[in-house]
């Protein structure tokens, strides 16, 4: 489960495409939108940055975050979005990492010549790939939570995995996990406490690693040439 844009591509993604149209002798500058198809678990952060930075030329379409429970369905849902695109979009980017698809997402995207987030998990983008890899090395057998997953733990984990109806499956699902690491985008004491409750429910140890939105924001701001 996981929340995190190929930097070379996103440099062009955020640049407003402009062309000049002359109508009745009047020069008019028009713009064309770029589309981000994203995991629903990234929805809040992407839309927040779009609002704060006035990226009005970016369109964000999010798929249901619960697809992480059935990752093999992700490529098909992404394909539906890609096939539904029209000429209003100059470019498209997939704000998913591999996310458990076992390479199926990459196979889907190749003929479309569309790029996705690097790495195995979309939430790597909050902490940054290097820090995330370090966490994975130091915290083997870890179940990661983000602000979004803490807020929606009941819907996405408990009900999403059927633990509300079959609690006996909990030990089976989480037998290889030792710890919950909460990758916190905010410094909310409420969410920290709720993340501890999530860990307690799963019978796992708990720790919090504050990521903030700095890395997420920095990479997008550096990569997106915004024109207001």
Architecture of the structural domain at 7-122: 3-Layer(aba) Sandwich (3.40)
> Residue 127 is encoded by which pair of tokens?
């902490």
Torsion angles phi and psi, residue 146, rounded to 5: -125, 175
Least confident of 82-96, 104-118, 177-191: 82-96
pLDDT of residue 28: 46
Residue ranges of domains in the chain:
7-122, 129-210
Quote the pTM value.
0.74
User: From edge to edge, which strands make up the β-sheet containing 142-146?
Assistant: 142-146, 179-184, 205-210
pLDDT of residue 91: 79
pLDDT digits (tens, 9 = 90+) for 93-118: 888 888 889 999 999 999 998 888 87
Element (H, E) at 32: strand 26-39
Query: Which residues, including other chains, have CB under 8 Å from residue 14's CB and lie 6 or more apart?
Result: 34, 55, 57, 58, 220, 223, 224, 225, 226
Highest mean pLDDT among 40-49, 82-91, 98-107, 134-143 belongs to: 98-107
pLDDT > 80? residue 1: no
Alpha-carbon span 114 to 12, nearest angstrom: 13
* Rounded average pLDDT over 71-96: 89
pLDDT > 70? residue 32: no
């Amino acid at each position: 489960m996981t929340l995190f844009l190929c930097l070379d591509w996103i440099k062009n993604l955020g640049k407003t495409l402009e062309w000049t149209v002359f109508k009745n002798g009047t020069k008019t500058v028009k713009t064309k939108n770029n589309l981000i198809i994203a995991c629903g678990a990234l929805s809040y952060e992407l839309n927040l940055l779009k609002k704060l930075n006035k990226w009005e030329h970016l369109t964000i379409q999010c798929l249901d975050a619960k697809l992480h429970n059935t990752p093999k369905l992700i490529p098909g849902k992404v394909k539906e979005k890609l096939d539904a695109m029209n000429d209003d979009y100059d470019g498209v980017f997939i704000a998913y990492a591999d996310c458990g698809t076992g390479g199926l997402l990459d196979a889907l995207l190749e003929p479309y010549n569309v790029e996705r987030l690097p790495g195995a998990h979309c939430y790597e983008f909050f902490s940054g790939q290097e820090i995330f890899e370090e966490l994975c090395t130091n915290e083997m057998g870890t179940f990661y939570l983000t602000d979004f997953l803490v807020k929606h733990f009941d819907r996405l984990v408990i009900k999403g995995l059927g633990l509300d109806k079959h609690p006996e499956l909990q030990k089976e699902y989480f037998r290889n996990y030792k710890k919950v690491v909460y990758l916190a985008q905010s410094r909310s004491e409420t969410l920290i406490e709720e993340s501890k409750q999530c860990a307690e429910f799963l019978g796992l140890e708990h720790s919090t690693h504050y990521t903030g939105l700095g890395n997420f924001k920095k990479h997008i701001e550096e990569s997106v040439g915004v024109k207001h």
